[in-house]
Chains A and B, each alone.
Chain A
Amino acid sequence: MTEILKTEGLSRYFGAVVAAEDINVTITEGEIVGVIGSNGAGKTTFINMVTGYLPPSAGTIAFDGHPIKGLGPRKLMRKGLSRSFQIPQLFLELSVLDNLSMALSASEHRHLEMLRPVRTPERIAAADEILNQMGITQYRDEMVTAMPQGARKLLDIAIAMLANPRMLLLDEPTSGVSTDEKHALMDTVMEVVKRRGLTVLFVEHDMEIVRKYVTRVLAFASGVVIKDGPVEDVLADEQVQELVTGKRQQKPTEGKNDTQDETQKGGA
Chain B
Amino acid sequence: MLTVWAILIDGLIYASWLFLVAAGLTVIYGVMRILNMAHGSLYALGAYAAASALGWYYNGVGDQLWIALAMIAACAVMIGALAGVIMERGVLRLMYGRDEVLMLIVTFAMLLILEDVMKLIWGTTPYFAYQPYAAMGRFNIGVLTVSGYQLMVVGVSVVVGLALWFWLERTKIGKILRSIIHDREVSEAMGVNVRRMFTITFMIGAALGAIAGGVTAPIISVVPGVGVEVIVVAFAVVVTGGLGSITGAAIGALIVGLARAVSIHTMPELELFIVYAVMASVLIFRPHGLFGQAVARKI
Chain A positions within 8 Å of B, measured between CB atoms, are 48, 53, 85-87, 89
Contact = CB atoms under 8 A, between A and B. Distances in A.
B117 to A, nearest CB: 37
Contacts, number: 6
Interface residues of B, number: 1
Contacts of A85: 299
A86 B299 CA distance: 8
Contacts of A86: 299
Nearest to B297: A53
Contacts of B299: 48, 53, 85-87, 89
- Secondary structure of the A side of the interface? loop
Interface of B: 299
B262 to A, nearest CB: 39
A219 B139 CA distance: 76
B180 to A, nearest CB: 25
A217 B74 CA distance: 72
6 contacts: A48-B299, A53-B299, A85-B299, A86-B299, A87-B299, A89-B299
B101 to A, nearest CB: 16
A93 to B, nearest CB: 13
Contacts of A48: 299
Contacts of A87: 299
A87 B298 CA distance: 10
Contacts of A89: 299
A65 B173 CA distance: 58
Nearest to A47: B299
A221 B299 CA distance: 21
A74 to B, nearest CB: 15
A245 B299 CA distance: 25
Closest 6 CB pairs of A and B: A85-B299, A89-B299, A53-B299, A87-B299, A48-B299, A86-B299
B299 to A, nearest CB: 6
A41 B299 CA distance: 16
A159 B291 CA distance: 39
A183 to B, nearest CB: 26
B263 to A, nearest CB: 39
A169 to B, nearest CB: 12
Nearest to B299: A85
A177 B157 CA distance: 57
A48 B297 CA distance: 13
Nearest to A87: B299
A208 B299 CA distance: 26
A2 to B, nearest CB: 30
A87 B299 CA distance: 7
A140 B299 CA distance: 25
Nearest to A89: B299
A160 to B, nearest CB: 13
A154 to B, nearest CB: 18
A104 B261 CA distance: 55
Contacts of A53: 299
Nearest to A44: B299
A145 B54 CA distance: 59
